[in-house]
Amino acid sequence: MMPKIIAKIMFRNHSSNRILKDEITLINSGLVKNGDRILDFACGPGRLSWEMSKIVGNTGMIYALDIHPLAIKKTEEIIKKNHIQNIKTILNSESKTGLKNQTIDIVFIFNAIDMIRDKAMLITELERVLKPGGKLVIRNKMSFFKNPNHYKKLFSGNKVEFVNKEGKTYYYIKEKS
């Protein structure tokens, strides 16, 4: 697990509208809709979960998952301070979500995919929780991989297939049964 001091620095940096401008623009682009059920995988301090919760409204739900207890604590502070009813936190050190099969419309992984060690477990879990036709959006400001095809091939041969790339954002969709 990440040391607490490093987590605090990252969380401070990932709480600013200026730093998260591109992610907030993406969330507000029409991709997220009222009533959506969203998994914010590696949610960090919850700033983006909060932005999504405003759009999905009372009929939608945001599941904010992170491995770090400090991330969950910060997200829960946002929930309490703003009286948010449509965000649930999930603290988990693996890629297991505990969510029911085929219940999620969109999974967002912002600036964290390279830190997930067991990608096979992640792929299996995302395939399980995504609805048929559900979307996966991966955005990395910095990539540890020089090969741009790395993210395109990440889910290759699985039920979640790459469909598009725009800048540093990769879009996938789960095949319809």
Summarize pLDDT for 7-65 with one digit per residue, the tens: 555 555 555 556 788 999 999 999 999 999 999 999 999 999 999 999 999 999 999 99
The answer to whether residues 145 and 114 touch, using CB atoms and an 8 Å cutoff, is: yes
Mean pLDDT, range 81-104, rounded to an integer: 95
State residue 2's pLDDT score.
52
Through-space distance between the first and last CA atoms of the chain, rounded to whole angstroms? 37
Full set of structural domains in the chain with CATH: 4-174 (3.40.50.150)
Cβ contact 38:108 at 8 Å: yes
pLDDT in the model for residue 99 = 97
Whole-model pTM: value is: 0.88
User: In the prediction, which pLDDT does 168 show?
Assistant: 86
- Ordered alpha helix ranges (H), 14-118: 21-26, 47-56, 69-81
The mean of the pLDDT values for the chain is 87
Q: How far is CA 83 from CA 76, 87, 121, 132, in A?
A: 10, 10, 34, 32
Mean pLDDT of the region 137-141: 88
Task: Quote the pLDDT of residue 11.
Answer: 53
Please compute the mean of the pLDDT values over residues 102-128 and round it to a whole number: 92
- Rounded Cα distance between 45 and 76, Å, is 9
Task: Give the residue with greater pLDDT, 117 vs 12.
Answer: 117
